[in-house]
């Protein structure tokens, strides 16, 4: 599989490094104009199976190349094969593995929230934070702004708690890169939580650690 990187931010670059070590990826190249000491740079995405990118400009950039996009956006957009490949989608993937999720929450230094209604206790070093109640893919999600460099994803079910805690930039990069595992599941565009098991397996293979408590 050949992956093209849209240079849309530091998270995309971090994702490229994770993808370059993934056994299902044959090569990663940067779609120019750009310069890179680590990857091949090309003006065209010809020959790429997927593009990866973040932010609101990524779908438009991918559409110019006519190559499906793996994206961190919250909802489907034209030309996007996989969406939700970010911290919020990672939390939703954790929650979708629980038969009766009572709480699904995410905290990240890059998330800004308004109208916080209550607080949630995330694992250290993130700690207790005010959260805003939102919905993603029709499901509830509590979102918090982390006050330090760390991020956390938390899913609380009837019998267990599952969490991921790591450096926020590292977590976001892997959350984007792991979307490639969702892309190869089928031809239908989907969010990462619709193929949660292969997505989470890829994320752990790339370096994230899930902790579980009863």
Residue 183 sits in the same domain as residue 79: yes
Q: What is the mean pLDDT of residues 42-49?
A: 91
State the pLDDT confidence band at 33, using cuts at 50, 70 and 90: confident
Query: How many whole angstroms separate alpha carbon 36 and alpha carbon 47?
Result: 19
Residue 75 sits in the same domain as residue 101: no
Q: What is the mean pLDDT of residues 79-102?
A: 96
**Containing domain of residue 128, as a range?**
87-167
pLDDT tens, position by position, 163-186: 999 999 999 999 999 999 999 987
Residue 47 sits in the same domain as residue 99: no
Query: How many whole angstroms separate alpha carbon 31 and alpha carbon 16?
Result: 12
Residue 79 sits in the same domain as residue 15: yes
198 burial via Cβ count (<10 Å: 0-12, 13-18, 19+): middle
Residue 44 sits in the same domain as residue 101: no
State the CB neighbour count (10 A cutoff) for residue 175. Answer: 32
pTM: 0.94
Query: What's the number of domains the chain is made of?
Result: 2
Residue 79 sits in the same domain as residue 181: yes
Q: Is the pLDDT reported for residue 57 higher than 80?
A: yes
State the pLDDT confidence band at 111, using cuts at 50, 70 and 90: very high
DSSP 193: G
pLDDT, the chain, mean? 93
> Exposure string (b/e) for 119-151, b if CB count within 10 Å is 16 or more?
ebebbeebbebebbeeebbeeebbbbbbeeebb
What is the pLDDT, as a whole number, of residue 35? 72
What is the pLDDT, as a whole number, of residue 37? 76
Residue 102 sits in the same domain as residue 145: yes
Residue 81 sits in the same domain as residue 99: no
Residue 61 sits in the same domain as residue 25: yes
- Which CATH number belongs to the domain containing residue 182 in this structure? 3.40.50.720
State the pLDDT confidence band at 8, using cuts at 50, 70 and 90: confident
Residue 81 sits in the same domain as residue 98: no
Calculate ∠ Cα 16-11-23, nearest 5°: 25
pLDDT tens, position by position, 127-170: 999 999 999 999 999 999 999 999 999 999 988 999 999 999 99
State the pLDDT confidence band at 7, using cuts at 50, 70 and 90: confident
Residue 95 sits in the same domain as residue 71: no
What is the pLDDT, as a whole number, of residue 14? 92
Q: Which of 84-93, 108-117, 153-162 has maximum average pLDDT?
A: 84-93
Residue 162 sits in the same domain as residue 206: no
Q: Is the pLDDT reported for residue 36 higher than 80?
A: no
The last residue of one of the domains, among 167, 182, 197, is 167
Query: How many whole angstroms separate alpha carbon 199 and alpha carbon 131?
Result: 25
pLDDT tens, position by position, 66-78: 999 999 999 999 9
């Amino acid at each position: 599989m050949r992956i093209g990187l849209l240079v849309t931010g530091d998270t995309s670059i971090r994702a490229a490094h994770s993808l370059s070590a993934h056994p299902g990826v044959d090569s990663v190249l940067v779609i120019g104009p750009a310069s890179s000491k680590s990857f091949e740079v090309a003006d065209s995405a010809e020959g790429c199976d997927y593009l990866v990118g973040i932010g609101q400009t990524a779908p438009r950039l991918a559409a110019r190349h006519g190559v499906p996009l793996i994206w961190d956006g919250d909802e489907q957009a034209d030309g996007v094969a996989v969406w939700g490949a970010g911290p919020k989608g990672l939390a939703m993937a954790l929650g979708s593995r629980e038969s009766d999720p009572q709480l699904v929450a995410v905290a990240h230094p890059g998330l800004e929230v308004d109208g916080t209604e209550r607080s949630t206790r995330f694992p250290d070093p993130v700690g207790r934070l005010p959260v805003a109640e939102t919905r993603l893919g029709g499901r509830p999600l509590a979102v918090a702004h982390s006050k330090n460099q760390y991020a956390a994803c938390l899913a609380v079910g009837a019998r267990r708690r599952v969490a991921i805690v790591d450096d926020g930039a590292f977590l976001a990069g892997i959350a984007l890169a792991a979307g490639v595992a969702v892309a190869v599941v089928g031809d239908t565009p989907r969010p990462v939580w619709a193929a949660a098991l292969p997505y989470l397996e890829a994320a752990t293979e790339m370096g994230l650690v899930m902790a579980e408590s009863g």
